[in-house]
Structure 1
Amino acid sequence: MNRRPTLLAALTLTAAAALTLSACGSDDSSKGKDNDKIAGADTGSEASASPTASDPAPAGRPKIDLPSDVTYEFEWKKTGDAQKDAVLNDAEQRIRAVDMAIAKQDPLDKGYRFYSDGTAAAESQKYIQEFVDHKARTTGLTRYYNESLTIKDDGTAALVYCEDQSKAFNRFLKTGKTDVTPVTKDSYVVYAGTLRKNDKGVWVTERLISQRGSAKCQP
């Protein structure tokens, strides 16, 4: 099971096509750099992972607690525009909330549902369920970069960004093993999402599609 299978959406967006969903394998099929160490990951039991320290959640928003070996680098730049910066912040929180749901093994966790709706929420639920079915979660460092954000006349936001999964992997709960896979062009993924501000003032992701190996995201 590759780290972060691509999400499928009912409606396509600009700059994304030929979507694929990676199949999951067993925890005995580790490939490539099995003996390499990765930041924040070990081969001990799952019980050793403790939640990361997190800032208090703003009033009315879910608190996001993640295992200490789940880390991020968000290279998204502050725009100086309050509305655009709010979009980027809520998109970031959705990403974290999905990983929290995976760590909690809860496909209906309220965290990611707070930040998503429509097809994005439905596909996130399926994505989280895939990890639950395989008794696995995410581990390691994931980097987000090369973002492009536009606020449209209809009030929605179009966000395209890249994800670097080269240091992010699957960790199996039963054995505590990390499936460290080789880095390829498919370790880099482009995402295109549509967000809308709801009546709570939250920019929820309504649609999200992705494509592995995009030339836009290669190092």
Structure 2
Amino acid sequence: MTRRPRLISTAAAGAMAVLLLAGCGGGGDGGSKDNDKIAGADTGGSASASPSASASTSVDRPRIDLPADVKLTFTPEKTGDAVKDAILRDNAELLRALDAAIVAQDPRLPALEYYTEGQGAVAAQQWVKSFKDAGWTITGTVRYFDRQVSVESKDKASLTYCGDESKGYSKVIKTNEIKDTKVTKDSYVAYGVQVQKNEKGVWELVKIASTRGADRCQP
């Protein structure tokens, strides 16, 4: 079935395509074979939406809602370490915000800007715009697993995780057509993320790298 199209924002470096933002899986229409795909989607406005995971901090984070036809799951959600748990939470919210922007067709969605900074913000906007220009949105389920955090300093950290995008699809907005592609090894993606903590205590996306078809993420 269909995986969503994806976007590469910088040239490939070695085996990894160095991205400022990841994209969502894609078949022949609208996505390069070399690109990475976005996984899962949230929306800023759906009558049948369910709220994103609440953040138990004093920071007033934006609310992000998922439409009924889009789901994201994250494993693990917590590690028991307060700093690592905060990083995992904000990374999950970033992915939700990214997909919410795609569903809303809004590259400048406030929730997306909240979780991105610098080059990461620019790439996020470009990625959402590519969907908007194509007249596509996203639907289905994406599973993030094997999420691991490495804290480098009080305000810098990195994450690695896998994305199972075999059930995440792209959809033509005007016709509701689901774009079909077969599930292959490339449906599974390894991610490497750099984040930094801002003055509000939010861990923002700075860069993300991905390797499609990575052996360590295969089922």
* Alignment TM-score > 0.5, same fold: yes
CA change 1:128–1:163 in 2 (3 A) is: same
Q: What is the CA RMSD across the aligned residues, in angstroms? A: 2.7
Gaps of 5+ in 2: 31-45
Partner of 2:9 in structure 1?
A: 8
Provide, for residues 45-66 of structure 1, a one-character-per-residue CA deviation record: whole Å limited to 9, x for no partner: xxxx744121686652111122
Say how many residue pairs are matched.
195
Provide the TM-score with structure 2 as the length reference: 0.79
Higher strand share: 2
Q: Secondary structure at the match of 1:148?
A: strand
Identity in percent: 36
**1:86 maps to amino acid:** A
- Residue of structure 2 equivalent to 1:46: none
Matches within 5 A, 1:15-164: 17-18=16-17, 25=29, 50-54=47-51, 60-153=60-153, 155-164=155-164
Q: CA separation of 1:205/1:9 partners in 2, compared to 1, >3 Å: closer, same or farther?
A: farther
Q: Which residue of 2 aligns with 1:216?
A: 216
CA distance in 1, matches of 2:164, 2:53: 27
Which residue of structure 1 lines up, in the alignment, with residue 191 of structure 2?
A: 191
Give the SS at the match of 2:144.
strand
Q: Which runs of 5+ in 1 are unaligned?
A: 27-48
Deviation at 1:106, TM superposition (A): 0.5
Distance 1:200 1:25 in 2: 40
* TM-score where L is the length of structure 1: 0.79
Instruction: List structure 1 segments (4+ residues) > 4 angstroms apart after TM superposition.
Output: 9-12, 18-24, 55-59
Q: Which residue of 2 aligns with 1:36?
A: none
Aligned to 2:39: none
Structure with greater Cα Rg: 1
Which structure ranks higher in relative contact order (CA pairs < 8 Å, sequence separation ≥ 6)?
Answer: 1
Tell me which amino acid in the other structure corresponds to 1:25.
D
